[in-house]
Structure 1
Amino acid sequence: MEQPILTDQPLSWWKKSLNIRTACLYLLPSFFLFAVFLFYPMAKTVYLSFFLTDQQGIANVFVGLENYQYLLQSESFRKSIKATILFVLYTVPTGVMIALALALLTNEKVKGIGIFRTMYASTMGVSVAASSVVWLFLFHPSIGFFNKIITAIGGESVSWLLDPSWALVSISVTTIWMNIGFSFLILLGGLQNIDEQLYESAKIDGASYLYKLRRITIPMLSPTLFFVLTVSLINAFQTFGQVDILTQGGPSESTNVIVYSIYREAFVNYQFGTASAQSVFLFLCILIVTIMQFKFGEKKVHYQ
């Protein structure tokens, strides 16, 4: 009689299931935190966007898509969309390019370069509130540093935060300064991870600095640039603190970005339904922009 062939298939299945259960056990705290601080608030926001609420944020009357229809017909919300788009265009490309230029400068092997690296990265250690107060004095129409320089050379002072044509630019300059430390530090780390042998080979071949920058530095730095661009875009859409301190959405709603519009609608006007609808709209905007960036931008990323 032939002996049955023993296989370790049941044992293998048991080991795999045990590994899955062990992994889920380790991930359970993270799942709990995400559920409490991310998934539940997100689901609650979507739920409230279909209701009219009272001042405590309790849903009273189901209105369906009327909150979204109200937003599409609201002139104030259209101004918020315009301000947000302009703010993103002002801050993200400029901030990344300045951070890249500073990273390239401080990546050179020069004595004492660490001092400049510390200076350029120091904005990471300053809070949004403290930075905004400093820039509030710099933009002051009468005693501000910028207007002092302009009047000293014979120009007229500018109402930086009171003029609708300058307010968003002023907020953008403040935001670029605040975020440049993070972008600079990440890009500098990416530059220092590039293999030096590539530059040595190009130097032997007589390649110029611009050629090495275009053919070696940028391609090898592209994953880091892609990360910085993605994070900068998301942060730009979520800007709030400096707008609240410097302009409070004014003048004439020229700096009323979507996040500040959500805050004002919810905690000033107590319209939590329309504020939730704006939050859902902002989430969809960030999601679409991020997906498009991964779909089209990642094709140009050169992974080693």
Structure 2
Amino acid sequence: MNTLDQDLPLVPAAEPAAAIRRNLKTKSTQLWKETLLGYFFLAPSLALFLVFLFYPLLQSLYLSVHETDPRGRVAGYVGFDNFIDIFTSAKFYKSLEVTGLFTLLTVPTGIALSLLLAALTHNRLRGMRVFQFIFSLPVVLSVSTSAVIWMMLYHPSVGMINYLLSLIGMQPVAWLTDPKWALLSVSVMTIWMNLGFTYIVLLSGLQNISDDMYDSAKIDGAGPFRTFVQVVMPLLSPTVFFVTIVSMINAFQSFGQINILTKGGPVDATNVLVYSIYQDAFINFRFGTGSAQALVLFTLILILTFVQFKAFERNVHYQ
């Protein structure tokens, strides 16, 4: 036997293959352990989703094709009759009209006002943090608290708003009991209530824009308005797009402030779709009709969100 054979003994070909198989098996086992560990930590959240999201969705699908008795118990299968009743009901189209008008009053106005306040306060000037705190304050208030505050402000005899009107010689306004003013009053309260969240998100987007962009625009001779329109808005478009989607969904799901302030009145002037669902399901105990309306509302929100992604995302600049 020569010296080479003594120093470097031949290794059977089977050993490297066996080692590769053992390594693959070890990595596969480790991957399974990591996956199971991930699901273990996700288990509480998944359980909450199952109980509070997926189960109600399945229950709504079941109830939407059944009718219920006055006590809310399932009385029989009716197929698509509940959906036919919805789409042939004038009340549904009235609620849909009110919901659309409420969305148009709250979403564009709320975003524009939040964007204006964010643009005015995102500079690192002395005292700006005080204004940032004030404009962010509504985010910490619940819907019920905000509604009670504005109910006091809208009070026809002792409310602050009518008092201020009396100081300039104007007659008091029945903000919540006059059909001409009720929806506008609820919309103003909703804009203020959502202002904190929208303002914080837009302010964060503005603060993430590099100062180099402003310096470059200034060197090119761009003024403040031109800089905001041609530089800031394209860079802020992903944030504005996100806020628009979220605000639209929230507007279609608004319930608490309407329940507290107007209860859908007067004369159904503020009877949005969600409150109509609440009336059918939990006041009239027509759970079949209420579930069918809930599914229609879900479909409308899904379609509107899809349309917004298709129509406006092409104008969103992520870089």
> Using the alignment, how far apart are the partners of 1:184 and 1:73 within structure 2?
41
The residue number in structure 2 matching 1:44 is 59
The residue number in structure 1 matching 2:163 is 148
1:20 deviates by: 3.8
> Using the alignment, how far apart are the partners of 1:34 and 1:130 within structure 2?
27
The amino acid across from 2:229 in the alignment is R
Q: State, as a whole percentage, how many aligned pairs show the same letter.
A: 47
The residue number in structure 2 matching 1:62 is 77
The amino acid across from 2:208 in the alignment is N
> Pairwise mapping of residues 1-304 of structure 1 onto structure 2 (< 5 A)?
3-4=13-14, 6=17, 7-8=20-21, 10-11=24-25, 13-304=28-319
1:256 deviates by: 0.5
Greater than 6 Å deviation, 4+ residue runs: none
> Using the alignment, how far apart are the partners of 2:31 and 2:308 within structure 1?
36
1:162 deviates by: 1.2
> Using the alignment, how far apart are the partners of 1:13 and 1:125 within structure 2?
47
> Using the alignment, how far apart are the partners of 2:211 and 2:181 within structure 1?
45
TM-score, normalised by the number of residues in structure 1: 0.94
Aligned residue for 1:182, secondary structure, equals helix
Aligned residue for 2:67, secondary structure, equals strand
The amino acid across from 1:241 in the alignment is G
1:55 deviates by: 4.4
Larger Rg: 2
> Using the alignment, how far apart are the partners of 1:56 and 1:203 within structure 2?
69
Aligned residue for 1:259, secondary structure, equals helix
1:151 deviates by: 3.2
Q: Which runs of 5+ in 2 are unaligned?
A: 1-11
1:205 deviates by: 2.1
1:250 deviates by: 0.3
The amino acid across from 2:107 in the alignment is V
Aligned residue for 2:76, secondary structure, equals strand
TM-score, normalised by the number of residues in structure 2: 0.89
> Using the alignment, how far apart are the partners of 1:40 and 1:188 within structure 2?
37
Q: Which runs of 5+ in 1 are unaligned?
A: none
> Using the alignment, how far apart are the partners of 1:26 and 1:122 within structure 2?
33
Question: Which deviates further from its counterpart, 173-182 or 64-73?
Answer: 64-73
Aligned residue for 1:278, secondary structure, equals helix
